[in-house]
Amino acid sequence: MLSPRLVMLRSAASMMSRSLCAAASHGRAADMADGNPLLHVSNVRNRLREIVGASTNWSDHQQAMAERTALSSMLAKSQSDLPAKRMQDSFLEVHLPLGSEPQLREKYLTYHNTVRFGRILEDLDSLAVLISYSHTYNPALRRSPLSIVTALVDKIDMRQHVIYPDCDIKFTGHVTWVGKTSIEAKMHMSQFRDGSYAPVLDATFVMVARDPENKRAAFVNPLKPDGAAEEKLLQEGETNRHRRVELSTASLLKVAPTDAERKIVHDLFLNTLDTNTVSFRSRILPPNSVWMEDAKLKGLEICHPQQRNIFNRIFGGFLMRKAYELGWANACSYGGCRPTLVAVDDILFQKPVEIGSLLMLSSQVCFTQGKFIQVRVHSEVFDPLTRQHSTTNIFHYTFASDRDVPNIVPKTYGESMLYLDGKRHFNQTVES
**What is the rounded average pLDDT of the residues 84-98?**
96
Q: Is 20 helix (H, G, I), strand (E, B) or coil?
A: helix
Query: How far, in Å, are 46, 88, 132, 142 from residue 50 at the CA level?
Result: 6, 22, 15, 9
- What is the number of other CB atoms lying within 10 angstroms of the CB of residue 270? 8
Long-range (24+ apart) CB contacts under 8 A made by 63-70 are: 64/312, 65/213, 65/311, 65/312, 68/143, 68/145, 68/147, 68/212, 68/213, 69/212, 69/213, 70/212
- Span 24-50, average pLDDT: 64
Indicate the range of 115-119, 220-224, 242-246 predicted with least confidence: 242-246
d(CA 374, CA 421): 10
Selection from 312, 386, 306, 384 nearest residue 353 by Cα: 312
Is the predicted pLDDT of residue 253 greater than 70, yes or no? yes
Looking at residues 224-229, what average pLDDT do you find?
94
Average pLDDT over residues 46-51: 88
Backbone angles phi, psi at 54, to 5 degrees: -80, 150
Confidence bin at 348 (pLDDT 50/70/90): confident
Residue 255, pLDDT > 70, answer yes
For a pLDDT cut of 70, what percent of the chain falls above it? 88
More confident of the two residues 69 and 353 = 353
Residue 15 confidence class, pLDDT cut points 50, 70, 90: very low
What does the pLDDT read at residue 383?
84
What is the rounded average pLDDT of the residues 350-377? 94
pLDDT band at 364 (very low <50, low <70, confident <90, very high): very high
Residues 55, 61: contact at Cβ < 8 Å?
Answer: yes
**pTM recorded for the entire structure:** 0.85
How does pLDDT run across 156-185, given as a tens digit for each residue? Answer: 999 988 899 999 999 999 999 999 999 999
Is the per-residue pLDDT at 250 higher than 70?
Answer: yes
Q: Hey, what domains does the chain have and what are their CATH numbers? A: 4-248 (3.10.129.10), 255-431 (3.10.129.10)
* Residue 258 DSSP symbol: P
* Residue 177: per-residue pLDDT: 97
pLDDT over 60 at 336, yes or no? yes
Query: Taking 50 as the threshold, does the pLDDT of residue 23 lie above it?
Result: no
* pLDDT tens track for 186-211: 999 999 999 999 999 999 999 999 99
pLDDT at 276: 76
Q: Characterize the bridge pairing of strands 169-178 and 182-193.
A: antiparallel
Average pLDDT value over all residues in the chain:
87
Please report the pLDDT score of residue 1 as a whole number: 41
Distance CA 73, CA 126 (A): 26
Host H or E run for residue 27: helix 4-34
pLDDT for the residue numbered 16: 35
Compute the average pLDDT of residues 53-61.
Answer: 71
pLDDT at 432: 66
What are the strands, taking DSSP E only, across 217-371?
289-291, 296-302, 340-349, 358-369
Phi, psi angles (nearest 5°) of residue 389: -110, 135
Phi, psi of 308 (to 5 degrees): -80, 160
Question: Each residue of 368-420: pLDDT tens digit?
Answer: 999 999 999 999 998 888 888 999 999 999 999 999 999 999 999 999 999 99
% the chain with pLDDT above 90: 64
Closest CA relative to residue 158, chosen from 422, 396, 344: 344
CA-to-CA separations, 144 to 60, 87, 176, 198, in angstroms, rounded: 19, 19, 21, 35
